[in-house]
Amino acid sequence: MAAMKKKGQILRIRGIGAQMNKTGRRNKLKELRRQSPDFCPEHPIYGKEPEEDCAQPSDPNELKKSPLEKWFTKQIFNDLFPKSNIGMGPHPCLPYSYESFIIAARYFPDFGASHPNKQFKADEHHKRDVAAFFAHALQETGENDASVYNNTDLTLEQAHECFYRGGFYNWFERGPNSSFLLPSSPGFSPQDGKRCTDEGQYCKDDPILNFWYPCNSDVETHSDQDYHKGCYFGRGALQLSWNYNYGLFQQFLLTKGIKVDLIENPNLVMTKMDPPLAMMASIWFYMTPQPPKPSMHQIVIGDWKPSSKNRRAGYQGAIFGPTSLIINNECGGEDSDEPGGPGESRRIKAFKWFCKYFKVPVGSERTLSCKGMLDGFDAVQHMYSWHPDWGNMWKSQSCDCAPAPYGGPLPYYDPKLYPHEFTKQNDRNRLRCVYSMYESPETFRLDESNSPCLKHKPKIRLTKTGIRG
């Protein structure tokens, strides 16, 4: 969470162009103040303003415009996020900008554009979807300056206007001055995330994950302290975390023809602009189911299958509450005071504010929280991931994989529960699983004596990514 401001605090500038003259600084301050509502207190700014010839976001695939662009404009983005990028505001050369947002959205054409039922009007579905994404981003990486509610110069509504315009503020977990990072590079530049302390590694280590997404073990020393390059702490608007999520996002990018090694260089999530990965990683995480969990997008638009108990409790259709269970297992409900605490309460209040901004209904008050859910997502029985087909390893034929009722790095998407864009990945993930058995049988404790199928090689060429060439 960003540092809190006390009433009357002077705007703090951290490193905005050490060579900038006084006139330049004054002009910069005026520009930043214009972006926020006039009544909002000055906010802290960290970082260094990009150079004039800085790299702007681009799309190597030159995808066509998303339906989202028909209604969501640059004016709206800049109005909502004047404090983004650790206070500097929207800028095309920084991780958070309208330009990056729309390029990222083109890879997810259903985002802000789906209306699978008549529970809400089409445009209401679209705007609620975007409102939910922004609400979670505010909790994860917002400025979250609660001191505006203690400012006696502001009405409650004005305090809301200032507080909820604090989204897309932080780049790194624990930002803007992250204790995970080198003290001399604490997070005031996107490049600062290249190394981290032990605490920021977020590396899950097990034999199967080590085959698919082995953490970078490189270390460098600064001031007699070791720092790691394999750092998978939270980055981006929804804080992409852990090596397996970096690996899954990397695989998604590869299916789009974008070759990037996020396991070796995880900070590319913050620095790569062709395409802009900070925004893409966040929308990917919002849009992608991870069995047994549907995607947050599916929940908000009502394209999910709840258990019978949850349906009886009213948890069905296009609602917001279960999305908090998906993103961070938070089901504490909404606080009565303002702005309330972090966690689910902040997500709910932010969703309400963004829905009000977009002039769309929030839906049932009760289902804004997940605390009334009677079942978890695993109550809907189905298979979650691909694993060796243990029951047929003895056969005199090539080994195969089958869906299993537990998690793993190769998702299985049940066609009864997940959209076609995901179920069509099943065959590729099955073949990747088969590849892993032949390439590294010791990972699964297999050999030709306990698994005779290993003597029979597949008749097709397999690859680790499932993509040839």
**Across the chain, what does the average pLDDT equal?**
93
Distance CA 94, CA 99 (A): 10
Phi, psi of 163, rounded to the nearest 5 degrees:
-70, -50
Over residues 318-331, the pLDDT tens digits come to: 999 999 999 999 99
Over residues 106-132, the pLDDT tens digits come to: 999 999 999 999 999 999 999 999 999
Report the number of secondary-structure helices (H) and strands (E) in the chain: 15, 4
DSSP state of 290: B
Show the tokens assigned to 432. Answer: 């990747």
Residue 453: pLDDT above 90? yes
Show the tokens assigned to 262. Answer: 């996020």
Helix residue ranges per DSSP H, 94-191: 98-106, 122-141, 156-163
- pLDDT, residue 8, reads 30
Establish whether 140 is a catalytic residue.
yes
Q: What are the sequence ranges of the domains in the chain?
A: 1-380, 382-455
Show the tokens assigned to 160. Answer: 């809301």
Q: How confident is the model at residue 17 (pLDDT cuts 50, 70, 90)?
A: very low
Q: Which residue has the tokens 């530049």?
A: 189
**Catalytic choice (124, 140, 143, 161):** 140
Amino acid residing at 390: W
- pLDDT, residue 469, reads 63
- In this prediction the pTM is 0.93
Residue 13: pLDDT above 50? no
- pLDDT, residue 287, reads 99
- pLDDT, residue 27, reads 54
Mean pLDDT of 149-170: 98
Distance CA 109, CA 101 (A): 12
Handedness of CA 26, 32, 38, 41 (dihedral sign): negative
Over residues 53-102, the pLDDT tens digits come to: 999 999 999 999 999 999 999 999 999 999 999 999 999 999 999 999 99
Host H or E run for residue 438: helix 426-439
**DSSP code per residue over 373-423:** -SS-GGGS----EEEE-GGGTTSSS---EEEESS--SSB---TTTS-HHHH
Show the tokens assigned to 14. Answer: 């951290």
Least confident of 6-10, 183-187, 400-404, 462-466: 6-10
Residues in Cβ contact with 403 at an 8 Å cutoff, skipping those fewer than 6 apart: 383, 384, 385, 386, 387, 412, 414
**C-beta separation of 182 from 222 below 8 A:** yes
Over residues 330-339, the pLDDT tens digits come to: 999 999 999 9
1-380: CATH topology is Lysozyme (1.10.530)
Q: CA gyration radius for the chain?
A: 23
β pairing state of 401-404 and 219-222: unpaired
- pLDDT, residue 424, reads 98
Distance CA 302, CA 317 (A): 4
Phi, psi of 13, rounded to the nearest 5 degrees:
-105, 125
Host H or E run for residue 246: helix 243-255
Distance CA 249, CA 388 (A): 23
Q: Which among 252, 377, 379 has a CA at the least distance from the CA of 327?
A: 377
- pLDDT, residue 468, reads 82
**C-beta separation of 39 from 158 below 8 A:** yes
Phi, psi of 243, rounded to the nearest 5 degrees:
-60, -35
Q: Distances from the Cα of 289 to the Cαs of 284, 285, 296, in angstroms?
A: 10, 8, 8
HSE-CB for 245 with a 13 A CA cutoff = 23
Over residues 263-310, the pLDDT tens digits come to: 999 999 999 999 999 999 999 999 999 999 999 999 999 999 999 999
Q: How confident is the model at residue 31 (pLDDT cuts 50, 70, 90)?
A: low
Over residues 350-366, the pLDDT tens digits come to: 999 999 999 999 999 99
Over residues 406-436, the pLDDT tens digits come to: 999 999 999 999 999 999 999 999 999 999 9
Burial grade of 381 (CB within 10 A; 0-12, 13-18, 19 or more): exposed
- pLDDT, residue 26, reads 43
Q: Distances from the Cα of 296 to the Cαs of 27, 304, 358, 462, in angstroms?
A: 41, 10, 19, 33
% of residues, the chain, pLDDT over 70: 92
Host H or E run for residue 326: helix 322-328
Over residues 206-260, the pLDDT tens digits come to: 999 999 999 999 999 999 999 999 999 999 999 999 999 999 999 999 999 999 9
